[in-house]
Amino acid sequence: MLRKIDKNLLILLAGLLLGVGLGFIIPKIQRGTQPIIHAQSFQIFDDSLGFVAVDFTLESLSGDTVQLADMQGRPVIVNFWATWCGPCELEMPLIQEFFVRYSPELEVLAINFEETIGDIQPFTDELGLTFPVLLDPEGRIAELYQVRGFPTTFFIDREGIVQGVYLGTLSKSVLEGYLAKIGVGE
């Protein structure tokens, strides 16, 4: 009898872990539409794109207060990341390159997920990042934006409308494509 209980418990735990894992990877459904994730690139295609980006205010790594609403009139990249995320580290130099290329027209807000300044500062210094790095110590903004994996990048146009969401490491061509959608580099 003990073996049967152990086996049932293992099956239950495996199912629970699988469900939690899928819930972390697959984004929540927006406005009742079903997003489709392209398995090779993790690009999120969602018919509900076109909603107004939810405003937030966060403290930056440099101690400034940054509010998304203050960026109105300029295209914005909002990138959710963490220092422990290898793909995040891989894409940061590319984001930095495009930030330098299109600044001051393009705004980049890199929102760190639940880490301390002591973890973040050496990482940003090593990569030479000059765009604002924002602190989300409780993960509230990541939750508000329904981030389910890292990195996740939102592309917001001049009117504050989300025109694209990308889960995974950005490549140069993917980044250029999304920037074109928000009116950068045309």
Q: Is residue 50 part of a domain?
A: yes
**DSSP conformation class of 109:** E
Residue 128, domain extent: 2-181
The helix-helix angle for 86-102 and 117-127 (nearest 10°) equals 60
* Sheet containing 162-167: order of strands: 36-37, 43-45, 162-167, 152-156, 76-81, 107-113, 133-136
Q: Is residue 73 part of a domain?
A: yes
What is the full per-residue pLDDT of the chain (186 aa) written as tens digits? 445 555 554 454 454 444 444 344 433 333 333 333 333 334 444 544 889 999 999 999 999 999 999 999 999 999 999 999 999 999 999 999 999 999 999 999 999 999 999 999 999 999 999 999 999 999 999 999 999 999 999 999 999 999 999 999 999 999 999 999 999 986
Q: Is residue 100 part of a domain?
A: yes
Q: What is the pTM of this model?
A: 0.76
Q: How many domains does the chain have?
A: 1
Q: Is residue 156 part of a domain?
A: yes
Q: Is residue 88 part of a domain?
A: yes
Q: What is the CATH number of the domain that holds 139?
A: 3.40.30.10
**DSSP conformation class of 50:** -
Place of tokens 């140069």: 172
